[in-house]
């Protein structure tokens, strides 16, 4: 489904209920599964629905194929869970893009503690042939520079291991905030978790306790911060807390440097924007790379030069988001460049003329689609291709955009003004 977008005709003022945090929901499901209790997670987005469906079916013992589609979180968490579960016999696979996303560091560690895992295709990548067994645990090392989910996956299976698990983190650890989230969720369920910058020590004196946890998704809030910034409108996001377990709550701090003010009141966050206060953004986003698409597009639209470092993990997301952002911002005439072996993205304000209305590709990536939507405020009538990809994390995004006053039309229809359309 392709859509053409037009901005609100009046100053934007809207209230938005964000989807539940996918990061919290998926971890809650795995931990509750290990605890032997109800999964208790919202299944409105594709990723959580995929994981819920697989876990609800019980452990795969028949040697068949389990397909996670494009759900990278499910691939990593299930690799560890299946490997540590006696009797499992399956091939774990996914979408075409999933088969290009690395899994090697996690598999290597699991093998060191006794896992029986074989690559059914290319070495270091899914699909994986898994024969589950009781694993020993102990002390391991892992390269955490590719994905923090490797670490979280290992932490969550520690209660299933004979000797617990001590994990030493190697390399430039990506998204440390997500490891802290996993640690806190496990502590709330009775696990012992000692955690510093380089080492995670997990043990469980008894069975894990179940807990029901849900928070609105701070990573989804980034797109409404973006909309507030480019419209100078008012947005109320319900249920968000600055005390959230989610590291992406730092989005509020980052967008404040783009002129968006966050006011917490009655359990909500109220956003208002004062544009043109700043002209330069420099930030290390190692702990929150998912914010990059919204930040990059916002900066290009409001003319703010930037240097964003610590973003090498974006090469291995649903698409290569760094290359995708370079390509799509070029359609607006903005020339972005990478530095430091692709781990830093820079824009010095350089623009070149463009002669046609942009048609944006989304690369089967939900965050690219949502980040590009606010371009319509500056360039009415843009086209977003394959807009349905938002279902991965935020299925109601386009409906909420319409409720906020944006106009979504079929790209095959002639371009006309809102007055003509009325």
- Just list the catalytic residues: 290
Do residues 83 and 115 lie in contact, with contact meaning Cβ atoms separated by under 8 Å? yes
What are the angstrom distances between the C-alpha of 266 and each of 238, 241, 243, 263?
A: 9, 10, 14, 10
Residue with tokens 């980040």: 371
DSSP code per residue over 343-387: TEEEE-S-B----S--EE--TT-HHHHHHHGGGGGTSTTEEETTG
The DSSP call for residue 172 is: S
Do residues 186 and 202 lie in contact, with contact meaning Cβ atoms separated by under 8 Å? yes
Backbone phi and psi for residue 377, each to the nearest 5 degrees, phi listed first: -65, -35
Residue with tokens 């539940």: 20
Do residues 139 and 168 lie in contact, with contact meaning Cβ atoms separated by under 8 Å? yes
| Residues 6 or more apart in contact with residue 412 via CB below 8 angstroms | none
d(CA 155, CA 167): 8
Do residues 376 and 6 lie in contact, with contact meaning Cβ atoms separated by under 8 Å? yes
Residue with tokens 């100078």: 232
The DSSP call for residue 205 is: S
SS (H, E, C) 69-116: CCCHHHHHHHHHHHHCCCCCEEEEECCCCHHHCCCHHHHHHHHHCCCE
| Residues 6 or more apart in contact with residue 65 via CB below 8 angstroms | 90, 91, 93, 127
């Amino acid at each position: 489904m392709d859509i053409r977008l037009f901005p609100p005709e009046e100053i934007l003022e809207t209230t938005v209920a964000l989807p539940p945090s996918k990061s919290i929901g998926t971890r809650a499901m795995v931990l509750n599964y290990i605890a032997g209790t109800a999964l208790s997670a919202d299944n409105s987005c594709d990723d959580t629905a995929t994981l819920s469906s697989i876990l609800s079916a019980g452990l795969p013992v028949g040697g068949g194929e389990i397909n996670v589609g494009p759900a990278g979180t499910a691939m990593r968490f299930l690799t560890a869970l299946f490997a540590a579960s006696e009797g499992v016999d399956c091939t774990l696979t996914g979408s075409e893009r999933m088969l290009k996303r690395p899994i090697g560091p996690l598999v290597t560690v699991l093998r060191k503690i006794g896992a029986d895992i074989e690559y059914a295709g290319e070495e270091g990548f899914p699909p994986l042939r898994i024969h589950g067994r009781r694993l020993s645990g102990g002390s391991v090392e892992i390269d955490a520079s590719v994905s923090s989910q490797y670490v979280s996956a290992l932490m969550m299976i520690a209660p299933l291991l004979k000797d617990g698990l001590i994990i030493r983190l190697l390399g430039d650890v990506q998204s440390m905030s997500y490891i802290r989230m996993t640690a806190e969720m496990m502590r709330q369920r009775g696990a012992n978790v000692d955690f510093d910058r380089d080492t995670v020590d997990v043990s469980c004196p008894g069975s894990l306790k179940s807990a029901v946890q849900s928070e609105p998704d701070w990573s989804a809030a980034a797109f409404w911060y973006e909309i507030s910034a480019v419209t100078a409108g008012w947005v109320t996001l319900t249920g968000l807390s600055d005390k959230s377990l989610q590291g992406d709550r730092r989005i509020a701090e980052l967008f404040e440097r783009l002129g968006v003010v966050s006011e917490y009141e009655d359990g909500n966050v109220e956003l208002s924007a004062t544009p043109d206060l700043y002209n330069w953004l420099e930030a290390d986003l190692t702990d929150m790379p998912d914010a990059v698409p919204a930040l990059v597009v916002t900066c290009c639209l409001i003319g703010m030069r930037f240097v964003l470092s610590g973003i090498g993990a974006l090469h291995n997301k649903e698409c290569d988001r760094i290359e995708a952002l370079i390509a799509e911002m070029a359609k607006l005439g903005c020339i972005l460049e990478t530095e430091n072996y692709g781990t830093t993205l820079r824009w010095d304000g350089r623009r070149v003329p463009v002669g046609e209305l942009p048609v944006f590709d989304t690369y089967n990536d939900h965050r690219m689609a949502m980040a590009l939507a606010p371009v319509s405020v500056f360039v009415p009538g843009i086209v977003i291709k394959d807009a349905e990809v938002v279902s991965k994390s935020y299925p109601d995004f386009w409906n909420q955009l319409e409720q906020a006053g944006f106009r979504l039309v079929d790209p095959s229809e002639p371009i006309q003004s809102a007055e003509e359309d009325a």
